[in-house]
A and B are shown apart, each in its own frame.
With several copies, the nearest count.
Chain A
């Protein structure tokens, strides 16, 4: 998991690169990291999921938790994901309607509401 800052037309964006398996075992770590980011005032997040090999509903729960936290500060949480396997679970759960999902980090950083 790594974090970097990029400047977009809407202001600075924090790009969070997530990898590996995000499940009931690793989700608590990701949750803490998202909480830390928001606590340190980073309210516009781009979560790059291209390196994610597995994601279950526990991982989704953590992303939804992050979304709620940034929204409480008028922030945003955008996802970058082109993997069909991963997108499938967003569709099943209806979360494609909740998260803006982009095909590249550039696109996500350039986006604004």
Chain B
């Protein structure tokens, strides 16, 4: 199984690095373009959320992204050391509208609950596991029949 693990000091710029790595892995694995877009957004949300939480609670700890691919799918997980993830609002937009008032501080820029709500709306195979030490968000995208077929062909050639 091919695995890439990325440890990022919690800075906004590093969220771009995380997206870049995840998208490159997804393209290489043969994920459909539409799912690559979905994955780009999902990884961005999960990492922005973690970077925001670390910035407030653990500026010296890295955010961890793992990308693992097996013949059937691509599994990404993002781990943070922040407080447990709260309940998911039904409607992420409500979270934003309910957020800090006009003039509110930086929090407006990275609401961890809204990110989580977007992930729930976006990703079919999503697990959010909160433990005392932090939260791990795991997302999985299956590799379609096309990709599996290509692999089968290669195996047959050997």
The interface of chain A, by Cβ under 8 A from chain B, is: 21, 23-25, 27-28, 31, 54, 56-58, 60-62, 64-65, 68-69, 72, 85, 89, 92-95, 97-98
How far is it, in angstroms, between the C-alpha of A56 and the C-alpha of B96 when the chains are bound?
13
Which residue of chain A is the closest to B48 with respect to CB atoms? A24
Contact partner, A94, options B19, B94, B104, Cβ 8 Å? B94
How far is it, in angstroms, between the C-alpha of A6 and the C-alpha of B106 when the chains are bound?
31
Q: Are A25 and B16 in contact (CB under 8 A)?
A: yes
- Chain A to chain B contacts (Cβ below 8 Å), 5 pairs: A23-B44, A24-B12, A25-B13, A54-B19, A64-B99
The majority secondary structure among interface residues of chain A is helix
Question: How many chain B residues touch A (Cβ–Cβ < 8 Å)?
Answer: 34
The interface of chain B, by Cβ under 8 A from chain A, is: 12-13, 15-16, 19, 37, 40-41, 44-45, 48, 51-52, 91-94, 96-97, 99, 101-102, 104, 106, 108-111, 114-115, 117-118, 121-122
Ranked nearest first, the 4 interchain pairs of A and B with the lowest CB-CB distance are A92-B121, A94-B93, A93-B92, A25-B12
